[in-house]
Structure 1
Amino acid sequence: MNAICKNCGQEINGNFCSKCGQSADTHPINLHYLWHDIQHGVFHFDKGLLYTAKELFTRPGHSIREFIEGKRVSHFKPTAMIFLLGSFYGLLYHYFHIEIPDNTASGDSKQATQIMSNWIIEHYALATLFTIPLISIASFFSFWKRGYNLVEHLVLNSFIAGQKLMLQFVFFPLLYIFNGSKTMLLLSGISILIDFLLAIWTYNQFFNTQSTLRNLLRTLLTYVYFFILTVIISTVMEMFINGNH
């Protein structure tokens, strides 16, 4: 006798429901279920967060392109990955009381910058998500002849954002050691440089139907567009903050 799907009521002939996709084998919700779910979603090297991390640091562009083309079962979803990593990173900042060293700005500009910096730290996942549409618009116009739509660029840059968040965890012990010192500015600069080199590598693999030189130039153009958009939005935000103080 075939099983009945507990999700939609459809008769199941096999391991999964042909109507909604739910597994025929459902387990009771208990600690074993919870641990099994965490293992499959986060710790398995063949599926989940660790698998996605391995792919993003061994063959990033190829794996992201395969995800967009439909090979998605093994990957941790990019938006969920950003929320998970960004939220945990923000918690680490608060728990270890990481302090950003004073910058050289003064007056209203310094106050506005400090307010924005504090907000970014307190809402790291959201701040990361907010940058994705900007860099995606930039990459869309830089690589528009490659045939990928804006939503696909959003997916591409969401994975790259996750890649950058993973890199931040590598740098975090150094941030803790040099907490509040000017060395943090140097570490931030090194992190940004590595981020940029990873982006070049990822874009070059992803858009592998054209030359490396062309990909490099279009990646540089992407960051120019992104910088312009960021400056415009930052200027508007600073004017708004100053207008309310």
Structure 2
Amino acid sequence: MNPICKNCEHKINGNFCSECGQSTDTHPINFHYLWHDIQHGIFHFDKGLLFTAKELFTRPGHSIREFIEGKRVNHFKPTALVFLLGSLYGLLYHFFHIEIPSTITNEDSEQTFNIIGDWITTHYALATLFTIPLISIASFLAFRKTGYNLVEHLVLNGFIAGQKLILQFIFFPLLYIYSGTQTMLLLSGISVLIDILLAFWVYNQFFDTQSTLKNILKTVLTYIYFFILFTTLTVVISIVVELFINKV
């Protein structure tokens, strides 16, 4: 006799209900269940987070393409990955009072820079998520003949953002040691350079139907488009913030 689903009361044939998808194996609510739920539901350690982190630093382009093509069970979703890692990184940044030295001499511009910088550090996950559409538009324009749509580029660059956040955690002890010093600027420059090199690697693997040279040139074009979009947006935000400061 087939068991009855405890969720929708339909007969079940297999490990999952064909009507609502609930598993037939429903554990009692106890400490074991709570720990499993924390692992699976929040961190997804048993599959997603560690598996995705490993894939992003061993075969990133191939694994992201497989995710887009439908191989998704073992992966941590890109938006959740960025939000989780970005939130944790923002908390660390705030808790350890990491300071980036300003190179701006104009007082009004420095005040604007500090306001924007404070918002980014306290909303690091949102700030990271906010840049993903910009780089996705840029890569979509640069690689437009490869056949991937804008949403697929959002997924691609969401995983790349997660990869870069993992790298930020590796760099964090150095940021803490050199917080507020000019060495921070050097470390930031090195981090950006590594980010760009990783992007070359990921894009070249992902768009594997093209030559490496073509992928390198289109990756450069992606960053040119991104720089134009980001600079334009930053100027607009700075103008708005300065107008707000002057009114106050």
Cα RMSD (Å):
1.2
Deviates more, 1:73-82 or 1:96-105: 96-105
Report how far residue 156 of structure 1 moved.
0.3
Structure 2 unmatched ranges of 5 or more: none
AA aligned to 1:188 is S
How far apart, in 1, do the equivalents of 2:111 and 2:6 lie? 56
Specify the SS of the correspondent of 1:15.
coil
Question: Is the aligned partner of 1:146 residue 2:146?
Answer: yes
Question: Partners of 1:28 and 1:16 in 2: how far apart?
Answer: 17
In structure 2, C-alpha distance between the alignment counterparts of 1:132 and 1:5, rounded to whole Å: 41
TM-score, with normalisation over the residues of structure 1? 0.96
Instruction: Report the CA distance between 1:126 and its aligned residue.
Output: 0.2
Are 1:55 and 2:55 an aligned pair? Answer: yes
- Once residues 6 and 218 of structure 2 are traced to their aligned partners in structure 1, the CA distance between those partners, rounded to angstroms, is 50
**Match of 1:104, SS?**
coil
Q: How many residues are treated as equivalent by the alignment?
A: 243
Tell me what 1:131 maps to. Answer: 131
Question: Which residue in 1 is equivalent to 2:100?
Answer: 100
Aligned mates of 1:116, 1:177 — CA distance in 2: 23
SS in 1 for 2:223: helix
Aligned AA (2:209): T
Residue correspondence of structure 1 range 1-245 to structure 2 within 5 A: 1-40=1-40, 41-44=43-46, 47-245=47-245
In the TM superposition, what whole-angstrom CA distance separates every residue of 1:72-94 from its partner, at most 9, and x where no partner exists? 00001111111110111011011
Q: How big is each residue's C-alpha offset from its partner over 1:86-114, in whole Å with a ceiling of 9 and x where there is no partner? A: 11101101111111212234222211111
Residues 120-159 of structure 1: per-residue CA shift (max 9 Å, x gap): 0000000000000000000001001100000000000000
Which amino acid in structure 2 is aligned with residue 222 of structure 1?
Answer: T
Matched letter for residue 108 of structure 2: D
**2:54 counterpart SS class:** helix
CA distance in 2 between counterparts of 1:209 and 1:238 reads 41
Structure 1 gap segments, 5+ residues each: none
Shift in Å, 1:34: 2.4
SS at structure 1 position matched to 2:44: helix
Residue type of the partner of 2:192?
I
Q: TM-score, normalised by structure 2?
A: 0.94
Cα deviation code 1:185-208 (max 9, x no counterpart): 111100000000001000000000
Rate the CA distance shift 1:105–1:18 in 2: closer, same or farther, 3 A: farther
Change in Cα spacing, 1:175 to 1:80, as seen in structure 2 (3 Å) is same
Paired with 2:7 and 2:201, the residues of 1 have a C-alpha distance of 43
Distance in 1, matches of 2:110 and 2:148, equals 40
